[in-house]
Amino acid sequence: MKLTHPKALLAVGAVVALAIFAGVTYSFKLPPFKEKGEIEAGEVCSSLGSPSTAANALKKVLPEETSYSFDDDVDLRTDVTDTNYESSCFVTGGGKQLLVSKARLMEDEAATSWTNWVKGTASNEASTQSLTPFMAGDTAVASSRFVAIFVPCTSAGKVPGGQYNLSVSAELKQAGDSNDAAARDALIKLAKNAASYAYAKAKCDMSPKLGG
> What local confidence, expressed as pLDDT, does residue 6 receive?
52
Q: Fill in the DSSP letter of residue 3.
A: P
Same domain, residue pair 16 and 98: no
Closest CA to 63 of 145, 134, 3, 148: 145
Strand partners, 91: 70, 99
What range does the domain containing 19 cover?
Answer: 9-35
Return the percentage of the chain with pLDDT > 90, whole number.
71
Q: Tell me, what DSSP letter sits at residue 181?
A: H
Residue 138 and residue 107 share a domain: yes
Q: Is residue 57 located within the same domain as residue 31?
A: no
Convert 71-99 into a string of H (helix), E (strand) and C (coil): EEEEECCCCCCCCCCEEEEEEEECCEEEE
Examine residue 3 and state whether it is found in any structural domain, yes or no. Answer: no
Nearest-CA neighbor of 37 among 89, 88, 90, 92? 92
Q: What is the pLDDT of residue 212?
A: 60
3-state SS of 184-208 is HHHHHHHHHHHHHHHHHHCCCCCCC
Contacts for 110 with CB less than 8 Å, ≥ 6 apart: none
Answer yes or no: is 1 within a domain: no
Q: Is residue 210 part of a domain?
A: no
Q: What is the pLDDT of residues 46-90, one digit of tens each?
A: 999 999 999 999 999 999 999 999 999 999 888 877 889 999 999
Identify the helix (H) or strand (E) that includes residue 59: helix 51-61
For 93-111, the pLDDT digits (tens) are: 999 999 999 999 999 999 9
Are 65 and 149 members of one domain?
A: yes
* Per-residue pLDDT at 159 exceeds 90: no
User: Is pLDDT at 28 greater than 50 in this prediction?
Assistant: no
Instruction: Tell me how far apart the terminal alpha carbons of the chain are, to the nearest angstrom.
Output: 80
Task: Confirm whether 4 is domain-assigned.
Answer: no
- Amino acid occupying residue 39: I
Q: Are residues 194 and 145 in the same domain?
A: yes
Instruction: Evaluate whether residue 110 is within a structural domain.
Output: yes
Instruction: Judge whether 171 lies within some domain.
Output: yes
